[in-house]
Structure formats: structure tokens, C-alpha cells
Amino acid sequence: MQYGIYYAYWAKEWGGDYARYAQKVAGLGFDILEISCAALAETAPAQIAGLRAACEAHGVRLTAGYGPAPGENIASPDPDVAKNALAFWERTFPVLQELGVAVVGGGLYSYWPVDYARPFDRRADYERSVAGMKKLADLAARFGLTLCMETLNRFEGYLLNTAAEAVQYVRDVGRDNVKAMLDTFHMNIEEDSLEDAILAAGPALGHFHVGECNRRPPRGGSRLDWGGIGRALRKAGYAGAVVMEPFVLAGGGVGRDIRVWRDIAEDGSEAALDRAARDSVAFLRRALEG
Ligand SMILES: [Mn+2]
């Protein structure tokens, strides 16, 4: 397994200078930096080339995450919105390929964060989502990309809440480059057993997010049994990326979208966040590898 971190741990607003993060995370002991797909297609080619060069210089691989905006919802009953979803990815996939990204994860099958004030038809959305994902998968394959369907907790999504549902969705789409994705933060709310959920995903598991129940960086001594999670991942034969996605700062667009209303880190300074990330990845390597 390789270990990564999502850049937004350090950010109050989405986006940023990913080249700087590539250098930072390499120094902290990570193999992978996860970036957002947002605005990648509008990023200047020179900046994309700079990010690629920074990753090569520091020995960091990129993975990408995304929560599609309401106007990019592949499951939308509005055909223009579904078309716009495909157009978004058509612009974004070539940039991901340019950056050497092979794995894209998130609630790609719907939109995020879901607005429950709007009415929706879950079954019809599911069917439209599967149909759209078949098209998207074929497009992604041309760029060497695997799309990973992240199960989200009920407050953030309504199509895929559990590993079992993700596995069924992957089966319904029936494309080799569409896989399931789990996140311990969401699993903590929805799954009876984190270990059983990982084993249920089994060979369909394409990407794995980690975080404590309150989205701190994993650090042990908590309610999550990291040793058991590691045993399940190894038993499932998982050899992919383990990316931590901590959110510990209140404020800004990130705090608002993630619903962080208090500073969860004892010390929110960059130096303290760096130390916590370094300690966390060292802990994870020990705890998950057995
Ligand atoms: Mn996640």
C-alpha cells in the first residue's frame, strides 16, 4: 500500500498551489498527494507542467478527488446537467493524464454536498447514474483512468452509503475501470463492521480514505481499530493507495462544505499540522502493515 494525504488538510479554501504541497508531503513521509479536480481544466498549462515536475523531483505520485457540483451531476433528471457532467470530465481527464494521475475518487456518481431541500427520486437517479457512468468509464479508459465510487454517509449522499451498495453499483456499471471506494469517516457512521465492509468490497476496492471519526489524522488510541482495518485490507489483497483526508480547521469554504464548526486541531499552525501529518503517516504505516 502507498500512503497519501489530501491537500485540503492545510487549506481554508478549495484549490491552491499543489506544487508546494507536493514538496511538503514528500518531506513529511508521504508517497502520494491527493488533489482536487476542481478548476484543473482551467489551470494554465505552465502550472500543470510545474506540478508534474515538482512531483517527479520529490518522488510524489498524484491521485485526484472530486465532489461534482450540482451542475455536474451525472445522475440529474435534467439532460443538460448530465451532458454538462460529461463535458466537465472531457475537459478534465486530459489534464489528469498529463499529471500522471491514474485514480480519481469521490461521489462521482452524483453531486456533493447534496441539498436535501431539493426533491429527488433515488431509484431513477441510480439508474441514470449507472447509465451515465458507463459512458464516463469508457471516456476515462482512453486516458488510463480508474474511477472510484466513494460511499458517503447519509448526510452527504443518498445513492451509495455502504460498501455493499458500492459493490452492486460497480457490478451494474460493469466496467473494469470503475471501482468502489471507502472512507473510514463515512464507514464509521454507516457500516456495522469496518472490517466486514472492506472484505465485502474485496477486489472491487480501488481507493481508500482514512480519518478518525471526527476527521482528525489517524493517530491510534481512538474508537477506530486501525490494526483491524489493516488486517482486513491485507486480507482483501488491497494494494492501492491509503489517503488520509483530515479536516481540522473551521472557517472558509472548506470548513463550510465539510461542516467543521470548531477548530478540531489543538494547534492549527502550519508547523503543528505538519507534525500531526508526519506522525500520522508513520503511525498508519505501522498499524496497517502489521
Ligand atoms: Mn473521503
pLDDT tens sequence across 8-36: 999 999 988 999 999 999 999 999 999 99
CATH number at residue 150: 3.20.20.150
Is there a contact between 201 and 192 (Cβ–Cβ < 8 Å)? no
Question: Which pLDDT value is given to residue 47?
Answer: 97
Residues of the chain with pLDDT > 90, as a percent, come to 98
Examine the pLDDT at 290 and tell me if it is beyond 90: no
48-76 tens-digit pLDDT: 999 999 999 999 999 999 999 999 999 99
Question: How far away, in angstroms, is 84 Cα from ligand 1 center?
Answer: 24
What's the domain range around 83?
A: 2-289
Which residues fall inside 5 Å of ion ligand 1, going by CB?
183, 209, 245
Question: How far away, in angstroms, is 220 Cα from ligand 1 center?
Answer: 19
Q: What mean pLDDT comes out for the span 75-102?
A: 98
Question: Which pLDDT value is given to residue 154?
Answer: 97
Question: Which pLDDT value is given to residue 41?
Answer: 96
For the question of residue 245 being annotated catalytic, the response is yes
Question: Which pLDDT value is given to residue 164?
Answer: 98
Handedness of CA 186, 183, 283, 289 (dihedral sign): positive
Q: How many domains are there within the chain? A: 1
224-261 tens-digit pLDDT: 999 999 999 999 999 999 999 999 999 999 999 999 99
Question: Which pLDDT value is given to residue 16?
Answer: 87
Closest C-alpha among 98, 128, 97 to residue 110: 128
In this prediction the pTM is: 0.98
Question: How far away, in angstroms, is 246 Cα from ligand 1 center?
Answer: 9
Question: Which pLDDT value is given to residue 2?
Answer: 98
Is there a contact between 154 and 110 (Cβ–Cβ < 8 Å)? no
For the question of residue 150 being annotated catalytic, the response is yes
- Which of 150, 156, 191, 212 is catalytic? The answer is 150
- Which of 34, 156, 191, 245 is catalytic? The answer is 245
Q: What is the mean pLDDT of the chain?
A: 97
Q: How far apart are CA 259 and CA 245, in angstroms?
A: 14
Closest C-alpha among 234, 246, 278, 277 to residue 1: 234
127-168 tens-digit pLDDT: 999 999 999 999 999 999 999 999 999 999 999 999 999 999
Question: How far away, in angstroms, is 67 Cα from ligand 1 center?
Answer: 10
